[in-house]
Amino acid sequence: MDLVREKHQQSVIVVDEASLLQLEVFVELHTITQFDFDSKPWLPIILIGQNHLVDRLKFRKSAPLASRVVDGGSDMLSEMEKTAADLKSKGKKPYIIPGGASNPIGALGYVNCAVETMNQLNVMRLSVEHIVVPSGSAGTHAGMVVGMAGINGGIPISGIDVARPKDIQEELVYKLAAKTVENINVKGGIDRKDVICFDEYVGPVYSLTTDSMTETVKLFAS
């Protein structure tokens, strides 16, 4: 806590795959994040996991942490904006990282991914006719499209929708791609037709298995 008190630096615990944690761990995590009193979190914690992480937080042992989770079905961006506004009113300087870090800055990671992919293909002398990526919060898909356009890679990028209908997802990806293009000044920009999505595989709820998904995994494993 010396970093917080003396050097004014904020420590944060980030737990990936939190949906796999035992219930007892949630109790301990809440305990170590509350050094003084409940309204002053010296050590904030970020839990990252699949949808059923929320189910894990519904158990009584997890109640202290669950009280800090917004209700299912909430508008995630809207909730983050409310929290940011509250922090601003207290003199803080919040920065919103959207779901999937899918904004023009976050998408740059996959712009670089497209560049790296092409470099490796050239070094290995491999010919690839198509690249398929998951398309959810849009950052991966938009970044790959922009990156491929920026280096004139000539390889089409298709996205497999994980949650939305084709028309809605394509518009979401295109808008983010367009903003990313402006961010890095890609010559010639991108065309709307460069954004292609397939929604035939969208399940009823994100991250939950379906019969066809299970069949595919078994086929691949065999």
Show the tokens assigned to 12.
Answer: 């944060």
Would you identify the CATH topology of the domain 108-221? Rossmann fold (3.40.50)
Beta bridge partners of 15: 47
Segment 96-130, tens digit of pLDDT: 888 888 999 999 999 999 999 999 999 999 999 99
210: left (phi over 0), alpha (psi -120 to 50) or beta: beta
| In contact, 20 and 49? CB cutoff 8 Å | yes
Domain boundaries, the chain: 2-69, 108-221
What are the tens digits of pLDDT across the range 37-73? 445 556 677 777 777 777 777 777 777 666 666 665 6
User: What pLDDT is recorded for position 85?
Assistant: 92
* Angle formed at CA 188 by CA 185 and CA 192, multiple of 5 degrees: 105
Task: Return the pLDDT at 168.
Answer: 95
Is residue 180 pLDDT above 80, yes or no?
Answer: yes
Most confident option among 36-40, 45-49, 86-90, 165-169: 165-169
